Structure 1
Amino acid sequence: MYYPDPDYGIYMIKASDPAADWSDPVLVFPGKGIIDPCPLWDTDGKVWLVHAYAGSRAGIKSVIAIAPMNEAGTKVTGPDHIVYDGHVDDPTIEGPKIYKRNGYYYIFAPAGGVSTGWQLVLRSKNLMGPYERKVVMDQGKSTVNGPHQGAWVTTQTGEDWFLHFQDKEAYGRVLHLQPMHWIHDWPVIGVDKDGDGKGTPVLSYKKPNVGKTYPITTPAESDEFNQRTLGLQWQWEANSSGRWLMTGENGCLRLYAHHTPDAKTLWDIPNILAQKFPADSFEVTTKLRLTPNEKNGAQHAGLVVLGLDYASLSIVNQGDGYVLQQGICKAADRGGVEKNTVITKLKVPEVWLRVDVHNPGPNRASCTFYYSLDGNKYQAVTGNFIPTPGKWTGAKIGLYATAEKGSNDEGYADFDFFRVTALNASETK
């Protein structure tokens, strides 16, 4: 597996090796701003690496280059050469994938920008060009903007398909699968209704024929927290620590109220356990109980929708009891200040929290928070929150517990469950 570090170059790790160590990768191609690598083992036994450049690091972009490699594909053995310049017709061309078919070399690459671009294919009889260009898919009249990056795949039955993503703002980068076929040695991706060789993306289509039928499944979302390990849907905001949590104890997730000394807002907190938005519209409900440690000052535990702007609903311990508090922060990555509003006082530090994520328009999201003191009747928190993307990601929804001060021990919050349901599928609010 090849992956780029924009500051240092292209690295490789043998992902198929069970003993592969991500902490000790092989530096394949040193250089600042070298990104989006893809290898080609040619029919003559030679090996090549196609890549793009990140303008922010390399000082140049909108070009595609190819470099020779050793037979094992573990080291670039000579200088790279630019084989296509997209400055005029295909600005910000990047993400190349290289193939060989019917005597042609093909470079599939997106151009025009992540959310506004098109899918380009270059072809040549010679690896180093010159290359012909053709736009083989763009947004057209579909709602799938971009479409960006991607790769050609062939099923067990010989069908051709194309995988790519769409940037949907707060919903993140959503994966699409498009039909693909060949006309006169050019690929056509998506549906080409006017026959001009340029397709548009489809939102629904006949499933690929892979030789057998599989049951319909969706990625994991909800979690009853009955297991000793977290599901693959969860991710931390930073490299994780085993002291942040305890799982599977009495059917709860226990998050310890960790103190981060330099944190000004939740944007700076590493121990937020979150997952990506699972759909355009959905509802999340959780139940939590806070057990603070008086030595740690104010402790917060709750539910957060996290992006460059974020909103949270949490239990906070105060000197005279507990409150339910909403926090909202704009431009958190640029030093925005969190504004807090007390929603209600709590007799006990236990509450059910809910957020509904609505989809009022293409690539738009809106969130409404709720709380309940008995798990049956929910009260809306005034005002809707408009989520924003994070850094290179969509918004996330997650759980957290934090402390104002550090000590030799930490309080904690027990989350009984995290349930994702279709919007309006729950009982009366």
Structure 2
Amino acid sequence: MTGHYSNPVLAADWSDPDAIRVGDDFYLTASSFGRAPGLPLLHSRDLVHWEIIGHALERLEPAEAFAVPRHDCGVWAPSLRHHDGRFWIFWGDPDHGIYRISAPEITGPWSPPLLLKAGKGLIDPCPLWTEDGRAYLVHGWARSRSGIKNRLTGHRMSPDATELLDAGTVIVDGDALPGWFTLEGPKLYRRDGWFWIFAPAGSVETGWQGAFRSRDFFGPYEERIVLAQGSTDVNGPHQGAWVDAPDGSDWFLHFQQRGAFGRILHLQPMTWDGDGWPVLGSGGEPVAGHRLPVPGGPATAPARDDDFPGGAFGVQWSWLANPAPGWTEPHDGAGLRLACRRTADAHDLRLLPAVLAQRLPVGPVTVEVELALDSTEPGAKAGLAVLGDAFGWIGLERGPDGAVSLVHRFAEQVSTRERDAARPYPAPGGTARLRIEVTAHARCRFSAVVDEPRASGPEFAATPWRWVGAQLALFATAPEGDGPAGAAEFRNFRVT
């Protein structure tokens, strides 16, 4: 219906979103974990139609810790704010502490990461600047690193966000709230003289959204559950951002865990009851759709396709670790040339840093790319993969006899080596058009065109990658040895 939207508004893994409005523009960021560049930046004019405009973090710090894939580490649950003419992003790295960066414009230049609070298990930070010039910070805890969970800690912070001014105080103790567990992901706000903390609880797949309010930042806080699955099919609707529209209406963006597709985003209308508490969705349950927050905006969508002009890749892609020189080969034409990186880990894509990945969108979708293997090295290979705790890929490999074959391989979650999913098929020209059909239930059918269309192997069930949804990935490898090993060229990447 014209003037209305349907959920989800972002049907891919935009985990732990935070969003703000600046004038008539909305901006969003999300967890990027161990991928680089990290901290994706999205723009919208209506909170429903989004486009990727870049990243705020070119490389993860400390750089040496992310020279290899660490898919469940890195950037967890960032907070995005606009204050004093600058954009600010705070995030928690569960192994190192709380970082922050800032920039005069959303497109940068972004300052180098500042470690605001060092320590293990410090996650989900969110700042707040009050109308009288004070500044505060709240954060949660990861039990896996600290042994602490279900607590929110508050700090006074210097107004320039260069230091915390106290040792921290537990301002909400989830263990003291009957029935509450895994309290985390706090977002801090002010309204009508109240301090508000919006915080999820109850675990990723089955949790709920809580709201806490107090007249004093350090409490005591009252609490309510303001959004839960109820009678709907939207499991675990929680963790996100309270955003206001230019007309003064309030909205809430949150995720829903959808298996291999990761944490997809829904948008809920938000009103207020007679006691001054927020009411999210329809009576505290998610809605399937609603009127547009801002009608008449452009119908943008996050980029997925790529022609790789000049050998460059688009903003939808990230590496699985901090990149190093020589991973790509720049040139003047179209097509991405990935160097066949020599490695001892070519049998397991999950261990390779030089893998270029983007989010797997909710199916049904068809993914296609053209591949030419430009390597004479025996054992050199390249392909298109669906990558998670388990992975499957289809591509080209040069054999010991110098011939190139179409190959299809996979590895289960518990496997440490890939194995054939189908018999190799001759590809004497060293080229193929690769194809993966992904169903609504994340079942993947692999096929390719060499001399004619060929289906390949059984269906593969995509899996998430710990906290990350499955990724669509491009890669090129070669066995260990000396000297360059050639390259693989990818062209006309399409998701339809």
Per the TM superposition, whether the score is higher than 0.5 is: yes
Seen in structure 2, the aligned counterparts of structure 1 residues 315 and 262 have a Cα distance that, compared at 3 Å, is closer
Choose which of 126, 137, 155 in structure 2 pairs with 1:49: 137
Aligned residue in 1 for 2:388: 307
Q: 1:208 matched to which residue of 2?
A: 293
Question: Matches of 1:283 and 1:264 in 2, distance apart?
Answer: 26
For residues 75-90 of structure 1, the aligned pairs below 5 Å read: 75-87=163-175, 88-90=178-180
Residue of structure 1 in register with 2:398 after alignment: 317
Offset at residue 117 of structure 1 (A): 0.2
CA distance in 2, matches of 1:133, 1:326: 53
Counterpart among 75, 91, 94 of residue 181 in structure 2? 91
Which whole-Å deviations, capped at 9, do the CAs of 1:290-323 have from their partners, x for residues lacking one? 12233xx311111111111000112111133222
Aligned to 1:312, the other structure's residue is in SS state strand
Call closer, same or farther: CA 1:155–1:130 in 2, change over 3 Å: same
- For structure 2, the residue ranges without an aligned partner over 5 or more in a row are 1-88
User: Which amino acid is 1:187 matched to?
Assistant: P
Instruction: Give, in angstroms, the shift of residue 181 of structure 1.
Output: 0.8
User: Partner amino acid for 2:286?
Assistant: P
CA distance in 2, matches of 1:36, 1:230: 30
Q: CA deviation at 1:127?
A: 2.3
Q: Give the secondary-structure state (helix, strand or coil) at the position aligned to 2:457.
A: coil
**Partner residue of 2:203 out of 97, 104, 113:** 113
Alpha carbons of structure 1 residues 395 and 418: separation in structure 2 relative to 1, 3 Å: same
1:225 to 285, 293, 308: 308
**Equivalent in the alignment of 2:479:** 404
Would the aligned equivalents of 2:271 and 2:280 in 1 still touch at CA under 8 Å? yes
The yes-or-no answer on 1:159 pairing with 2:249 is: yes
Matched, 1:373 2:450: yes
- The 1-side partners of 2:462 and 2:168 are apart by 42
In percent, how many aligned pairs have the same letter? 41
- 1:9–1:244 CA distance, 2 compared to 1 (3 A): closer
3-state DSSP of counterpart to 1:367: strand
TM-aligned CA deviation for residue 143 of structure 1:
2.4
Distance across 2 between alignment mates of 1:262 and 1:139 = 43
Partner of 1:290 in structure 2?
A: 373
- SS of residue paired to 1:57: helix
Deviation of the 1:407 alpha carbon: 2.0
The aligned counterpart of 1:345 is 426
Separation in 2 of the partners of 1:318 and 1:264?
15
Which amino acid in the other structure matches residue 280 of structure 2?
Answer: I
Maintained 8 Å contact 2:370/2:434: yes
Structure 2 CA distance for partners of 1:228 and 1:259, relative to 1, 3 Å: closer
TM-score normalised by structure 1 residue count? 0.88
Task: Summarize the Cα distance change of 1:218–1:323 in structure 2 as closer, same or farther, 3 Å threshold.
Answer: same
Counterpart residue type for residue 431 of structure 2: E
1:19–1:419 CA distance, 2 compared to 1 (3 A): closer
Q: 1:71 to 1:218 in 2, by over 3 A?
A: closer
Task: Say whether the 8 Å CA contact 2:311–2:335 is kept in structure 1.
Answer: no
Residue from 341, 350, 353 that aligns with 1:258: 341
Return the alpha-carbon distance in structure 2 between the equivalents of residues 9 and 347 of structure 1. 52
> Is the deviation greater in 67-76 or in 385-394?
67-76
Say if 1:372 and 1:255 are closer, same or farther in 2 by CA, change over 3 A: same
- RMSD after superposition: 1.9
Q: Equivalents in 2 of 1:385, 1:149: separation in Å?
A: 30
Post-superposition offset of 1:21: 3.9
Q: In structure 1, how many angstroms separate the alpha carbons of the residues matched to 2:231 and 2:417?
A: 41
Counterpart secondary structure, 2:102: coil
Aligned to 2:51: none
Deviations 1:314-350 (A, max 9, x none): 211113322211111012xx65221124232223211
Provide the C-alpha distance between the structure 1 equivalents of 2:457 and 2:121, rounded to a whole number of angstroms: 46
Which of 404, 410, 413 does residue 328 from structure 1 map onto?
410
What is the rounded CA distance, in whole Å, between the counterparts of 1:344 and 1:30 in structure 2? Answer: 53
Asked whether 1:142 is paired with 2:225, we answer no
Question: Are the equivalent residues in 1 in contact too, given 2:345–2:352 (CA < 8 A)?
Answer: no
Indicate if the aligned counterparts of 2:346 and 2:479 stay in contact, CA closer than 8 A.
Answer: no
| Shift in Å, 1:397 | 1.1
* 1-structure distance, mates of 2:227, 2:98: 29
Matches within 5 A, 1:123-138: 123-138=213-228
Equivalent in the alignment of 1:196 = none
Amino acid at match of 1:50: V
- Is 1:70 the counterpart of 2:155? The answer is no
CA distance in 2, matches of 1:19, 1:274: 24
Contact 2:313 2:336 in 1 (8 A): no
- Do the aligned partners of residues 155 and 256 (structure 1) sit closer, same or farther apart at CA in structure 2, a change above 3 Å counting? same
Q: Tell me which amino acid in the other structure corresponds to 2:116.
A: V
User: Larger RCO: Structure 1 or Structure 2 (Cα < 8 Å, ≥ 6 residues apart)?
Assistant: 2
What corresponds to 1:189 in structure 2? Answer: 280
State the shift of 1:278 in Å.
2.5
Greater mean alpha carbon deviation, residues 230-239 or residues 5-14:
5-14
Q: TM-score, normalised by structure 2?
A: 0.77
1:238 matches 2:321: yes
1:277 pairs with one of 360, 382, 393 = 360
Do structure 1's residue 168 and structure 2's residue 168 form an aligned pair? Answer: no
Cα 1:102–1:416, aligned 2, differ >3 Å: closer, same or farther?
A: closer
- Aligned mates of 2:344, 2:480 — CA distance in 1: 8
1:285 is matched by which residue type in structure 2?
Answer: E
For residue 100 of structure 1, what is the amino acid of its counterpart?
R
How many residues are aligned here? 401
The structure 2 residue matched to 1:39, chosen from 119, 122, 127, is 127
In structure 2, distance between residues paired with 1:409 and 1:8:
36
- Segments of 5+ residues of structure 1 without an aligned counterpart are 193-198, 422-429
